[in-house]
Structure 1
């Protein structure tokens, strides 16, 4: 689905990613783990076109999208949920969802499906997003992305800073989405247990380099924890 090949990227004179190669399987999950500052968010920004690689290439379904703008990548089926439970705080939950659905021929149906995945948002439809809890805003951010019916979803630490009960709901929703097919996920996640339950393949980043990779699954959790402890 997605391939980043020998990608170097960074900000101003600072190189953050040093020749990173990552692949996301069709209808599957690849997870990227690492400590703060390892380059995980930079990798997602490069994949989404928000940061131009200095070298290397990015392929989507075999097509070179290295030089495409973010909106062009969205048109090809990519969606991105950045870190921080982002939403328009002065708009209601319903207005946040409708803003994405407007102009889409299947917008009404897509909103209904998103609300089925996150029923609490239906109950909070009239509440301003700025008054939602962190977990509720994260569910709103995920719902907004899913309304675009992506083929590839980029998630940057979707469980960060969220109460455990909501973390479990978000984890189960992501797992259910990938199990039903038609969606690939590139997941940046700090919770190793969830990351390994979800992923077919994992990558550990350290100082902008892949230092460990392999097949996912709970059997690899010990290997990943050891790689992160180095």
Structure 2
């Protein structure tokens, strides 16, 4: 579904990613783990097209999209949930969702219903301004907004940051349910090893802009990941 090959990207004259390669399987979940400053968010921005790489290639569903702008990639089926539970704080929960649903046209209402079914707690918060929601509620809202676009690839940037354990469990359940349904792949960026390896079947460890470890999830994966992160 997503293939990133030898990607070099950064800001100005400073490269943050140095030859990163990874794949996200169709209808599967891959995770990228790493400490703060490793380049995880930069990787997602480059995958979406918010950041143009200086070298390397990004392929989505078999097509080279390296030079396509972000809005074209979104139209083709990418969705991005950035770090920090972003929403329009002055708008209510349902208004935040409706903004996206209205942009989808005739199937927007149906897509919004599907998203709320995944996060039923949001139904009871429909008229509450997003700025008054808890961090966990805002994160669920942010993911629901992305899902209304019915993406084929969902980019999630540290969805558990600052979130209470019960909501972390709900987000993990939702990610697994979505991937299990088919038609959606997920690239998950995380710092929490246990959460990431419960959700994903393949992992990559990113350190200082380079992949230092990669593999399939198995019984030994948590130990290998922690060893790679401790170096």
Same fold (TM over 0.5): yes
Gap runs ≥5 in structure 2: none
Structure 1 residues 218 and 70, CA gap change in structure 2 (3 angstroms): farther
TM-score w.r.t. length of structure 1: 0.98
Of the structure 1 ranges 195-204 and 144-153, higher mean CA displacement relative to structure 2 is found in: 195-204
* Cα deviation digits, residues 119-165 of structure 1 (max 9, x gap): 11110000000000000000000000000000000000001100111
User: Matched residues in 1 for 2:177 and 2:30: separation?
Assistant: 15
The corresponding residue for 1:180 is 181
Count of residues in correspondence between the two structures: 230
The corresponding residue for 1:28 is 28
CA shift, 1:101, in A, is 0.5
Two-structure CA RMSD over aligned residues (Å): 0.9
Displaced runs of 4+ in structure 1, greater than 6 A?
none
Report if the CA contact (8 A) 1:6-1:55 is conserved. Answer: yes
The corresponding residue for 1:191 is 192
User: Matched residues in 2 for 1:199 and 1:216: separation?
Assistant: 7
User: Matched residues in 2 for 1:134 and 1:165: separation?
Assistant: 12
User: Matched residues in 1 for 2:172 and 2:203: separation?
Assistant: 17
Asked if 1:168 is matched to 2:175, the reply is: no
Asked if 1:106 is matched to 2:103, the reply is: no
The corresponding residue for 1:82 is 82
Gap runs ≥5 in structure 1: none
TM-score w.r.t. length of structure 2: 0.98
The corresponding residue for 1:153 is 154
